[in-house]
């Protein structure tokens, strides 16, 4: 019987996801739509958290111990344009590292589930 690898395994595990996250933040910090939200952020810490969070979201081990999504975005009043910019940068980052479109869509569906915990907080 053939076992199905998780999306986490398909993209190459935490090491590959770490590279995706680095590229993702390069795009995010160059985007005036969303970079203001990171001006006072410890980006090393942010990258570590994001790598663990995305790893978990893609079916990897749950090593994420940060704040809840609602707590992490409290007081930011993020709007759909901000959320959509972040989703686009994640899409482009995954594509940059050769993740197939169906797998990207699967990953982004996990992100979409968090939209209500992120917007308008």
DSSP element (H, E) containing 62: none
Here the tokens at position 23 are 């590229």
- The crossing angle, in degrees rounded to 10, of helices 43-57 and 13-29 is 130
Distance CA 56, CA 52 (A): 6
Here the tokens at position 91 are 């899409």
Per the CB < 8 A criterion, the answer to whether 6 and 56 are in contact is no
Closest to 107 measured CA to CA, from 73, 70, 57? 57
The reply, when asked if residue 49 is annotated as ligand binding, is: yes
The reply, when asked if residue 82 is annotated as ligand binding, is: no
Here the tokens at position 33 are 């739509």
Residues that constitute the known binding site: 49, 73
Residues that constitute the known binding site for heme: 49, 73
């Amino acid at each position: 019987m053939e076992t199905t690898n998780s999306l986490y395994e398909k993209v190459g595990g935490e090491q590959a996801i770490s590279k995706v996250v680095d590229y993702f933040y390069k795009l995010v910090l160059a985007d005036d739509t969303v970079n203001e939200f990171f001006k006072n952020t410890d980006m090393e810490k942010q990258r570590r958290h994001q790598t663990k969070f995305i790893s978990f979201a893609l079916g990897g081990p749950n090593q994420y111990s940060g704040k809840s999504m609602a707590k992490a975005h409290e007081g930011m009043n993020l709007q759909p344009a901000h959320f959509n910019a972040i989703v686009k940068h994640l899409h482009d980052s995954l594509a940059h590292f050769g993740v197939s479109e169906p797998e990207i869509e699967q990953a982004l569906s996990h992100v979409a589930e968090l939209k209500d915990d992120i917007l308008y907080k």
